[in-house]
Chains A and B, each alone.
Chain A
Amino acid sequence: MKAEERSFSDLNEPLAPRRTRLEEFWRLFRKNRLATAGMVIFVVFFLTALVGLFLTYGRDPVFDPARVRLTEKLRPPLSKPRYQMVPPDQVPPLGIYLFGTDNLGRDVFARMLQGAWVSLTVGFVAVGISILVGIIMGGIAGYFGHEQIRFYHLPLACIVVAGTVSLGAGFFLVFSFKGSSSVLTGFALAGLGLFLFGTARRANSFLVRKARGRASLPLWLRLLRREITSVDAFIVRIVDIMLCFPSFFLILTVVALLPASIYNIMIVIGLTSWMGTTRFVRAEFLSLREQDFVTAAKALAVSDLRIIFRHMMPNAIAPVLVSATIGIASAILVEAALSFLGFGVPPPDATWGNILSDGKRFIFDAPWLTFIPGFAILIVVLAFNLFGEGLRDVLNPRLRERHG
């Protein structure tokens, strides 16, 4: 009996060895040598940035990127410090200036370590923001696109925005702990925000209920329910408007007008680069929405959010991942370009862009100040691009079959 069962199950097993999705992915990915190299460089860069953060952070770091040694200006890479000129506590930890020193005698190696973390966070946070906005906008446009924006939605949207602002301000006041009166105001504001949300929801459901199952509506209701445009057309129009701005010029304008800080740069880069993701996600959702598994899920009364995130998103995520990887590369480039123009992170902190920008005046005397950060940016961005292209080849089944 047992043996019989065994042979039966043997027959049913597929002839090719079973692989999990990850194994299959890895097998295909490894074939692309450039992409694998890109991924290895990416991992090394990630670890370097992480270690660099710990080694250069704090009041007395191991590698001090801000230590000025005026006697040790513009030493070439791999040169030994002049021990008679430098106090022992200012000697670099490795015993040599691995990447040389700059015009103030600061250790370029320490500055590069610090800059790696800046590049990494700018890339990831900016792309995180843009992906988040892109998925939300694209998802709404693709899934709820056919819904109409009606006249009464405008005041409701205003109420919701006011509620969000009030809630956010309330939380900010509560968590910044500035005396009991401000905490109380904070709670009041947060409560007001929640109340506004509730009001908007109430009014919406009231208007929907009023209109349900009635052949002719009273005039005021008809006016309020007048259709302005569809959600899809609205979002596509926003994307069109955003695409009209020349992106680098827009980023430059906003960054120049805002106070200089790394967070502003991340947010601005993120908020000006979500349009591509929105388009991808919208297109994917438009085609996925018509497919049978979504209809089946709807027939089972699965909630909209669950359909979007459990059923549709996994099918739409591949192009988003690819564009995110390539987006990180371009965010790093934009940040470096901004730092180069002098708009980046404020001076004591180092980024690869501003090391290069400071070094450009000494390009003939101290070329390493240009070449080391330049090649670092080049290699990291190249790694991200190759990795992203490799992902695209592997994740897109159509391309995969053609490669055979």
Chain B
Amino acid sequence: MLSFIGRSVIQKSVTLFFVSVISFLIIHLAPGEPSQVDPLNPKFTPEMVERFRKAFHLDQPLHVQYLLFYKDLFTGKSVSWKNNQPVLKEIWQRFLNSLPLFIVGTLLTWTLSFPIGIRSAILRGSAFDRTATFFSYLLISIPGFFFAYVLIIFVVSWFNVPVIGMETFGLGEASALRWFMDRIWHLLLPSVLGATGGIAVLSRYVRSQMLEVEGQDYVRTARAKGLPPDQVHYKHALRNALLPFVTMFGLILPGLIGGSVIIETIFSWPGLGRMAYEAILARNYPVILTINFISAVLVLGGTFISDLLYMVVDPRIRL
């Protein structure tokens, strides 16, 4: 166990190092430079460009820039080029905005896809199963931005509530209940949209996992003993089918930071995804690189946690 932890920490640090190098190279070797973002702006004199390059070490060789950037990142001193705010602080604020979306979306995904998947595995081939299958393909295939507009039209014209942004502007002195409902309405659409793809994929996965287990010998034995079907399905089959999903708790971790660029852009939600998008547009290198680094840490940490969980729940696994 300890040796596994040690080995995987070393391995993951090496991977992380390469990720940091590659992302740094991608950004810095691409044509163009942040100092040239707005060449037509008359206020951008050559001296200013020169000062800008000096201030952000852009005149140094690449490896020096790399070391300087990651030194700043780890000491928490790296600042956004756009407004000179510390990057980590800004990311933390945006993260707090994204967090409700992530929590509601994840809850929706996990509470909806399990019943749907289990039910369509038990009733395999029935009308319910076929409808669920078709809808899950539909939800996988629908472009998120198109679905967003369909839902916006629907909700705005039927319920007459505002949905864009995090809250209605100028609602300062409204009652607490009104404020709360306003927040809920604003939260609803983006998190439903964030969950659709997840529900579709996860319910298919639950279904196939459940079918796999239902075909096993011990389930047949349980049925042959004359146990009631519910007990066979939910006690014998389900418990074993759930095993792989324990590990997925680790794999949802990266979702904290990625996958919400389009939704947050459409809904003007000041979250992390939109921050990344704006940083890319403005070539705000420190923000892009920091978000990328954090998400790589989350991916690696997620796989690590899922390996550990797998060892805990399944004693047959020895890594």
Which residues on A are within 8 Å of B, measured CB to CB?
A: 34, 237, 240-241, 243-246, 248-250, 252-254, 256-259, 329, 333, 336-337, 340-341, 356, 360, 363-364, 367, 370-371, 373-374, 377-378, 381-382, 385-386, 389, 402
13 further interface pairs, Cβ-Cβ under 8 Å (given A341-B262, A341-B277, A382-B138): A244-B296, A244-B300, A245-B296, A246-B254, A246-B259, A252-B261, A253-B280, A254-B26, A340-B143, A371-B150, A378-B146, A382-B141, A389-B137
Give 30 pairs: A residue, B residue, CB < 8 Å, sorted on A.
A34-B134, A237-B14, A237-B15, A237-B18, A246-B257, A250-B292, A252-B280, A253-B26, A253-B288, A256-B281, A257-B26, A337-B143, A337-B144, A337-B145, A340-B143, A340-B145, A341-B261, A341-B265, A356-B146, A363-B152, A364-B153, A370-B146, A370-B149, A371-B150, A373-B146, A374-B143, A374-B146, A381-B142, A385-B141, A402-B215
Query: How far is the CB of A271 from the nearest CB of chain B, in Å?
Result: 11
A252-B277, A253-B288 known; A381-B143 Cβ under 8 A: yes
Q: Which 5 A-B pairs have the closest CB atoms?
A: A374-B146, A257-B30, A246-B258, A382-B141, A381-B141
Bound state CA distance, A256 and B22, in angstroms? 17
Asked whether A249 lies within 8 Å of B258 as measured between CB atoms, the reply is yes
Cβ of B170 < 8 Å from any Cβ of A? no
Asked whether B149 lies within 8 Å of A257 as measured between CB atoms, the reply is no
Name which residue of chain B comes closest to A256, CB basis.
B280
Cβ of B276 < 8 Å from any Cβ of A? yes
Interface string of B293-304 (1 = CB under 8 A from A): 001100110000
Residues of B within 8 A of A402 (CB): 215
Query: How far is the CB of B138 from the nearest CB of chain A, in Å?
Result: 6
Residues of B within 8 A of A367 (CB): 153
Bound state CA distance, A333 and B254, in angstroms? 21
Cβ of B232 < 8 Å from any Cβ of A? no
- Majority SS of interface residues in chain A? helix
Asked whether B31 lies within 8 Å of A336 as measured between CB atoms, the reply is no
Bound state CA distance, A370 and B153, in angstroms? 11
Asked whether B258 lies within 8 Å of A363 as measured between CB atoms, the reply is no
Asked whether A374 lies within 8 Å of B280 as measured between CB atoms, the reply is no
Which of B19, B133, B141, B276 has its CB near the most chain A CB atoms (within 10 A)? B141
Cβ of B58 < 8 Å from any Cβ of A? no
Number of A-B contacts (CB under 8 A): 116
Query: How far is the CB of B290 from the nearest CB of chain A, in Å?
Result: 12
Residues of A within 8 A of B137 (CB): 34, 382, 385-386, 389
Residues of A within 8 A of B231 (CB): none
Asked whether B31 lies within 8 Å of A248 as measured between CB atoms, the reply is no
Interface string of B246-268 (1 = CB under 8 A from A): 00000000100111011001000
Asked whether B141 lies within 8 Å of A257 as measured between CB atoms, the reply is no
Asked whether B31 lies within 8 Å of A337 as measured between CB atoms, the reply is no
| Contact for A244 among B15, B142, B261, B281, CB less than 8 A | B15
A241-B19, A245-B296, A363-B149 known; A340-B262 Cβ under 8 A: yes
Cβ of B23 < 8 Å from any Cβ of A? yes
Residues of B within 8 A of A253 (CB): 26-27, 280, 288, 292
Bound state CA distance, A140 and B87, in angstroms? 42
Bound state CA distance, A249 and B257, in angstroms? 10
Name which residue of chain A comes closest to B22, CB basis.
A241
Bound state CA distance, A336 and B292, in angstroms? 23
Residues of A within 8 A of B42 (CB): none
Please report which residues of chain B, range 4-45, place their CB below 8 angstroms from some CB of chain A when the two chains form the complex.
14-16, 18-19, 22-23, 26-27, 30-32
Name which residue of chain B comes closest to A238, CB basis.
B18
Bound state CA distance, A65 and B278, in angstroms? 31
Residues of B within 8 A of A257 (CB): 26-27, 30-32, 283
Residues of A within 8 A of B144 (CB): 337
Asked whether B27 lies within 8 Å of A240 as measured between CB atoms, the reply is no
Asked whether A337 lies within 8 Å of B26 as measured between CB atoms, the reply is no
Residues of A within 8 A of B112 (CB): none
Name which residue of chain A comes closest to B14, CB basis.
A237
Residues of B within 8 A of A34 (CB): 133-134, 137
Residues of B within 8 A of A373 (CB): 146
Bound state CA distance, A34 and B259, in angstroms? 29
Query: How far is the CB of A93 from the nearest CB of chain B, in Å?
Result: 28
Cβ of B213 < 8 Å from any Cβ of A? no
Bound state CA distance, A86 and B142, in angstroms? 37
Query: How far is the CB of B134 from the nearest CB of chain A, in Å?
Result: 7
Asked whether A245 lies within 8 Å of B292 as measured between CB atoms, the reply is yes
Bound state CA distance, A73 and B157, in angstroms? 25
Name which residue of chain B comes closest to A332, CB basis.
B143
Interface string of B128-148 (1 = CB under 8 A from A): 000001100110111111100
Residues of A within 8 A of B259 (CB): 246, 248
A244-B299, A337-B144, A374-B143 known; A254-B30 Cβ under 8 A: yes
Query: How far is the CB of A342 from the nearest CB of chain B, in Å?
Result: 9
Asked whether B143 lies within 8 Å of A243 as measured between CB atoms, the reply is no
Bound state CA distance, A259 and B30, in angstroms? 10
